[in-house]
């Protein structure tokens, strides 16, 4: 990869499609969406869309509701398909065959398939991560092998045309990486400057001790039990 920007003048428009479904975490979708929206402003030949099964307001896991711009049928061949995550509603969506079918069918026509946080569990439940390395939110990395994936503890993981990001804010890092791959490092650095992405968390770097020690395992299991209470077979598969 070079640091120069490819010339998109002879290429068709590349559509970056973000999946919206009820109950997701807004930052999982809005963070990388903002990155790609900046790319579309800087470089001709890119556009961002938000796809859902219906065009109607959908709740998130905050007071904010979001509305898709298109249905899956309206965007048949996106260049990239990005699936955000969340907590209980996302875990429950692992049993939503309608959503999983749309993910499978759209992913089959996409050059890049990606996820943020527990969105990778939806890719996994759709059968799209079998035999691949992947990551997800640290609370649920241990579920990936139940779907035939190999969990990796990294900010983002690429395996072939599939790229998965770790929890929530990692989606911004993954999106900047993809912008660099699509449009060159110089453009990616400009996007990073424009969105002023230069993290300085007030309490310093994360101390991963509690996560590594399994301190939050009971909480993670409680959420999983709640999400899949109506799907005992899937719950048993993931917890046995």
Q: What is the dihedral of CA 35, 38, 40, 43, to 10 degrees?
A: -110
Q: What is the dihedral of CA 105, 111, 115, 120, to 10 degrees?
A: 50
Nearest to 73 by CA among 89, 55, 90: 55
160 in helix, strand or coil? coil
Q: Which of 43, 51, 117, 123 is catalytic?
A: 117
Active site annotation includes 128: no
Helix (H) or strand (E) holding 233: helix 232-239
Instruction: Report the 10 Å Cβ neighbour count for 216.
Output: 12
**Looking at the annotation, which residues are catalytic?**
117
């Amino acid at each position: 990869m070079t640091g120069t920007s490819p010339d998109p003048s002879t290429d068709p428009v590349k559509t970056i499609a973000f999946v919206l479904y009820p109950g997701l975490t807004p930052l999982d979708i809005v963070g990388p969406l903002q990155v790609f929206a900046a790319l579309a402003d800087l470089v001709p030949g890119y556009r961002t869309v938000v796809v859902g099964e219906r065009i109607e307001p959908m709740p998130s896991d905050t007071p904010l509701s979001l509305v898709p711009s298109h249905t899956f049928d309206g965007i048949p061949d996106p260049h990239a398909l990005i699936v955000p995550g969340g907590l209980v509603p996302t875990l429950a969506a692992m049993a939503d065959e309608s959503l999983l079918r749309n993910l499978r069918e759209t992913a089959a026509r996409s050059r890049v398939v990606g996820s943020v946080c527990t969105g990778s569990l939806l890719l996994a439940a759709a059968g799209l991560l079998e035999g691949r390395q992947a990551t997800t939110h640290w609370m649920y990395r241990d579920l990936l092998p139940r779907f035939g994936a190999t969990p990796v503890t990294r900010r983002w993981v690429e395996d072939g045309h599939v790229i998965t990001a770790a929890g929530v804010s990692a989606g911004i890092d993954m999106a900047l990486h993809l912008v660099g791959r699509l449009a060159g490092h110089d453009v990616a650095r400009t996007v990073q400057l424009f969105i002023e992405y230069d993290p300085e968390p007030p309490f310093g770097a994360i101390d991963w001790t509690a996560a590594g020690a399994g301190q939050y395992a009971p909480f993670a299991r409680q959420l999983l039990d709640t999400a899949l209470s109506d799907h005992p077979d899937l719950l048993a598969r993931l917890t046995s």
